[in-house]
Amino acid sequence: MSSGHHSIFVEPHRSADGARRLTEDQLDHARNLLRVEGAVILPGIVPAELVARLRDTMLADLARREHPLPTNFVTGHIQQDPPPVPELLFPEVLLNESVYRVTTALLGPDAKNAVYSGNINLPGSLEQPVHLDEGHLWPGPTEHPPYALEVDIPLVDFTAHNGSTEYWLGTHQLNPEGWYDDSGRVETAALEQRRAVRPPQQFAIPAGSAVIRDARLWHRGTVNHSSSPRPMVAMTHYCDWFETPPIVLPSAVRPWIESSPYRTSATFTDEPIDHLTSEHAFAIQ
């Protein structure tokens, strides 16, 4: 495990009330890391008790799911949403101040979260192909600013042993013609060319951290060599002008979602929300 050429960890200052908040200098540093490296990690910003509740519930859901499960590219990487029920939807996760300060600094003040999902890396999983989650907006060598930032919240400590994600830092600005297929896989020749310049890295990431990365950054899920599933929550913040389907949330959380200064693209319902269907919009074969 490595912290890289330069560390991509920015640990928010602990305030008098116990909350972790970024100073202005830390915010500038996080913003610059995202621009240059394509990723930044904010350790321990979600309280441990909330992480434990989400982890335990997602693992209980996993145990009762019917097969086949929706996978991401290869066996063992399961797409699974956290339960969208009021008692398990937390402002500290969905509307985390430190996360939004970083994402709005790059995407604009009206940036919105439009994804509330997750995935689980199962013991004995295979290695995913290197891929990007969102493509570049236009072809050719002229790079453009980010329009989508992934926000991943590990629900257990991530290590090389349990399949911590592999990141190819700096690749979010690479867009030569023919390097990606329709599902976002990076072509082998491109991988070898980039590896000679800067090889990929894995990081030891504490549970409850936020990994914020440009959605164009190359990455992949790795093999989980442990005996336990490795779950995380996954969100995506987009520029206001980028059209996305909204998140479906229960009406009970509408007051604190809509009263927040931070935006969520959501619709609300009084009906039960089935989050464990066999089909999933984000599953990739």
Query: What does the pLDDT look like over 263-282, one tens digit per residue?
Result: 999 999 999 999 997 567 67
Q: Measured between alpha carbons, how far is 195 from 130 in angstroms, rounded to an integer?
A: 12
Residue percentage of the chain with pLDDT more than 70: 95
Q: Measured between alpha carbons, how far is 276 from 82 in angstroms, rounded to an integer?
A: 9
Query: Is the pLDDT assigned to residue 1 strictly greater than 60?
Result: no
Query: What does the pLDDT look like over 217-237, one tens digit per residue?
Result: 999 999 999 999 999 999 999
Query: Is the pLDDT assigned to residue 4 strictly greater than 60?
Result: no
Locate the domains of the chain by residue range.
Answer: 13-269
Element housing 77 (H / E): strand 77-79
- Two tokens, residue 245: 């389907």
CA–CA distances in Å: residue 244 to residues 113, 116, 265, 270? 10, 12, 8, 22
Element housing 102 (H / E): helix 97-107
CB 171 within 8 A of CB 133: no
Strand 201-202 to strand 166-168: parallel, antiparallel, or no bridges (unpaired)? antiparallel
* CATH topology assigned to domain 13-269: Jelly Rolls (2.60.120)
Q: Measured between alpha carbons, how far is 213 from 38 in angstroms, rounded to an integer?
A: 6
- Two tokens, residue 213: 């990365």
